[in-house]
Structure 1
Amino acid sequence: MNRLTNTIRPYAWGSTTAIPELLGTEPTGEPQAELWMGAHPGAPSRIDRGSGLVPLDTVIAADPVAELGEATVKRFGPTLPFLLKVLAAGAPLSVQVHPDLPQAKAGFADEEARGVPIDAPHRNYKDANHKPEMIVALSPFDGLCGFRRPTEAADLIEALGVDSLAPYVDILRAQPEDQALREVLAAVLGADPEAIASTVHAATEAAARLAADPATPYAADYAAYAKAAHSFPGDRGIIAAMLLNHVRLQPGEALYLGAGVPHAYLDGLGVEIMANSDNVLRCGLTPKHIDVPELLRIVRFEAADPGVLRPEAAPDGEELYPAPIDEFRLSRYVVAPGADPRTLDSATPQILLCTSGTVRLEDLGESGTVLSLARGESAYVPAGGRTRLDGDGTLFRATVAA
């Protein structure tokens, strides 16, 4: 068991205060977007095994079976198959979608064969893996997740009273679900830049007016779109966002985002876990490259409820966030003074993150290591580790599905 030293990623959309508040540090005045915990080569955590801090991916590469367990290596190869983050959105992230595993493998192979540099701004596939993910709110958390029903999207857009949006409303009302959603998204992304910017400005002003009256249908949704437009004025992604479900998570609630589901995080602090991948196709709220044909090939044009998740409690005190994926398993423990200690047994590697109070970890193996984790601190436990947990706080446990 080892304490992790982690990297903060300073993306422009990050909050300037949320991660410093979690860690108990002074804000720098700059955005602090993500705290990474894991072995992703972009910003691996570091651990000390007695000879100074060493990147976790280097430690794992030296003896994958000892670190990850034979079963994990057999299933996913000699790398940690998940990445855990604390995500702090102070402004919207791009509206985006992730490929499934066959799409990622094919897309990566194609771009490799065509010689597209891995760091090229127009490259879609950074690796050959899929990127299912889950976000658990630590604060009230606003996001977009999956398509609305076309008729509902038509009602929301029509109420804006913007004449140039009328053709989209007609398509949403007249066409079958998948065709309607595909046609409107393609039309928005393919529209003349000057014309769509004018439409977005008019829609944004109307959304702000409608949001001012809480009794207005979709008032909270309009408020979210108007707020997003402050960060991306004139961006066609505002119209694309209106096709999606707006969700506000309360602390402890979660969203699971599978392949092909368009989504965006708008505001808030959360614990995020994902398969170890960086494959993203964007469709708005971004200055980055948008590959419209590839995006339309990957998106699943299906309306669905966003499916807010709440943890399922087990008798041993573990609260599991269920997800239909093998690369990761996320749960939490809420521990209190005087309660019986919990024992965490796992044949797979674990990352343990404290998000409130203080939790005490004791290695029940030969080392007998004891770690005390405060808010924002984390530890790595190799496969086969047995750990006793007590204290007064909340601990998230990330591991691999058995």
Structure 2
Amino acid sequence: MDLLRNAVRPYAWGSRTAIADLLGREVPAPHPEAELWLGAHPADPSRVVGPGGRETSLLDLLTADPRRQLGAACTERWGARLPFLMKVLAAEEPLSLQAHPSAVQAAEGFAREEAAGIPLDAANRNYKDSSHKPELICALTEFHALAGFRDAHRTLELLKSLEVPSLRAHIELLAAQPDADGMRALFTTWITLPQPTLDKLVPEVLDGCVAHLRERGPFDRECRTVLELGESYPGDAGVLAAMLLNRIVLRPGEAIHLPAGNLHAYLHGTGVEIMANSDNVLRGGLTPKHVDVPELLRVLDFDCGDVPILRGDVEGHVTTYRTAAAEFELSRLDWSAAETAEETPDEVRLAADGPRILLCTAGRLRLAGDDGTPMELVRGQSVWLPAADPVVHVRPAADGPAQAFHARVGVV
């Protein structure tokens, strides 16, 4: 049971307040801070703080003693590699439209690009490794996202409501086949439009959104999103693609799971994210980075419908967000102010069944192993719990609400 020091990634779309506030630093931060990484990703592994404040890369610890750190079952399946990466994601501006491959697609794509001799750091490289990248994000604040293709009939209502003459042929294309195949045809048409055509069509769509808002139409939120994206990414096919996706608002504690092929973009908010430890991303727009249209179309899942909002399975103080991902499972630990004021607040017992990371997101926690060794964790701090450690007992250490997120290998 050791404290972690975690890397902050300063992407331009990040917040200057959310992560700085979580970590107890001066607000606003000098530069945007987008992601706090907790794990053993080679690009920015967490550092384990040992006796006397000596720091060691978590990546080095796993390499030196995988059985102790990860356990036998994890090591046999994934080798000396932590299969999940945990993040705090803070989006002030929209991220790119993107999707992730399945395990089979990732393995095939990686082998194909390796055989072609494409450098791993090349701008046109799609597959940085041979793994899939399912992910889940749980909202800490109100969290806005685009995810998955909306029901085709509802999308037709949106497109018709804009009353844009240039969209008539596109509407007819989807109306002729209002299902996954029709959605594929429309998306493919839009993402392959010549730039001069996009430069004409996108502003006309934006004008239609303005008129829709002025007339108080039923797609207020969708139109505002398209206008915001059009301002940031003029002439980008991703602005059109955004009209095909579910517009989602998560309340704190709600989550969405994004399996292979789900086209999505995070728009605004702060959340705890967990994913398979992979870098495989296929981009679909809203970015100056490489967009490989044929490979994106090969990966995307065009099935239409709502994306389920996960509220988790609650057992006492623990809410668990279950998915089919073998690489990870995320749970949330909560105590209300009334519960922490009790003389002996209830504790949560974290079983010693593999590698785990615990992040405190509110209040202060007291941790103790079966041997009685105590540790306090304050908001923004996290600990590494190797597989060889005993059971850890967690309870609030002060009055007021307390919260933590627990990342572990999945149970499937």
Alignment TM-score, normalising by the size of structure 1: 0.96
Read off the aligned partner of 1:61 and give its amino acid letter: T
1:171 equivalent to 2:165? Answer no
The one-character-per-residue Cα deviations of 1:118-139 (angstroms, maximum 9, x if unpaired) are 0001100011000000000001
Shift of 1:76: 1.9
Aligned residues: 398
**8 Å contact 1:162–1:199 — kept in the other structure?**
no
**8 Å contact 2:184–2:302 — kept in the other structure?**
yes
The one-character-per-residue Cα deviations of 1:355-378 (angstroms, maximum 9, x if unpaired) are 11111212224xx44332222211
Structure 1 residue aligned with 2:385: 381
For residues 50 and 230 of structure 1, the distance between their equivalents in structure 2, rounded to whole angstroms, comes to 51
1:3-402 to 2 correspondences below 5 Å: 3-26=3-26, 27-50=28-51, 52-211=54-213, 215-315=216-316, 317-335=317-335, 336-337=339-340, 338=342, 339-365=345-371, 368-385=372-389, 386-391=391-396, 392-402=401-411
Alpha carbons of 1:210 and 1:375: their partners in 2 closer, same or farther (altered >3 Å)?
farther
For residues 266 and 211 of structure 1, the distance between their equivalents in structure 2, rounded to whole angstroms, comes to 20
Shift of 1:260: 0.7
For residues 68 and 350 of structure 2, the distance between their equivalents in structure 1, rounded to whole angstroms, comes to 18
DSSP 3-state at the match of 1:256: strand
DSSP 3-state at the match of 1:242: helix
Alpha carbons of 1:212 and 1:53: their partners in 2 closer, same or farther (altered >3 Å)?
farther
**8 Å contact 2:237–2:285 — kept in the other structure?**
yes
Stretch moving more, 179-188 or 61-70: 179-188
**8 Å contact 2:333–2:404 — kept in the other structure?**
yes
For residues 384 and 183 of structure 1, the distance between their equivalents in structure 2, rounded to whole angstroms, comes to 52
For residues 149 and 285 of structure 1, the distance between their equivalents in structure 2, rounded to whole angstroms, comes to 22
DSSP 3-state at the match of 2:363: strand
Shift of 1:209: 4.0
Read off the aligned partner of 1:334 and give its amino acid letter: D
For residues 63 and 238 of structure 1, the distance between their equivalents in structure 2, rounded to whole angstroms, comes to 48
| Structure 2: stretches of 5+ with no match in the other structure | none
DSSP 3-state at the match of 2:5: coil
Read off the aligned partner of 1:82 and give its amino acid letter: F
For residues 301 and 238 of structure 2, the distance between their equivalents in structure 1, rounded to whole angstroms, comes to 17
The one-character-per-residue Cα deviations of 1:176-208 (angstroms, maximum 9, x if unpaired) are 512211111111111011221221122223324
Read off the aligned partner of 2:402 and give its amino acid letter: G
**8 Å contact 2:162–2:211 — kept in the other structure?**
no
For residues 212 and 393 of structure 1, the distance between their equivalents in structure 2, rounded to whole angstroms, comes to 44
Read off the aligned partner of 2:395 and give its amino acid letter: D
For residues 143 and 123 of structure 1, the distance between their equivalents in structure 2, rounded to whole angstroms, comes to 26
Alpha carbons of 1:29 and 1:48: their partners in 2 closer, same or farther (altered >3 Å)?
closer
**8 Å contact 1:135–1:273 — kept in the other structure?**
yes
DSSP 3-state at the match of 2:111: helix
Percent identity over the alignment is 44
Runs of 4+ in 1 over 6 A off after TM superposition: none
DSSP 3-state at the match of 1:4: strand
**8 Å contact 1:99–1:279 — kept in the other structure?**
yes
Alpha carbons of 1:384 and 1:205: their partners in 2 closer, same or farther (altered >3 Å)?
farther
Read off the aligned partner of 2:331 and give its amino acid letter: S
Read off the aligned partner of 1:383 and give its amino acid letter: A
| Structure 1: stretches of 5+ with no match in the other structure | none
Shift of 1:327: 0.5
Instruction: Supply the RMSD in Å over aligned alpha carbons.
Output: 1.5
For residues 139 and 89 of structure 1, the distance between their equivalents in structure 2, rounded to whole angstroms, comes to 11
For residues 308 and 92 of structure 1, the distance between their equivalents in structure 2, rounded to whole angstroms, comes to 20
DSSP 3-state at the match of 1:135: strand
Shift of 1:212: 5.2
**8 Å contact 1:212–1:219 — kept in the other structure?**
no
Read off the aligned partner of 2:410 and give its amino acid letter: A
**8 Å contact 1:228–1:266 — kept in the other structure?**
no
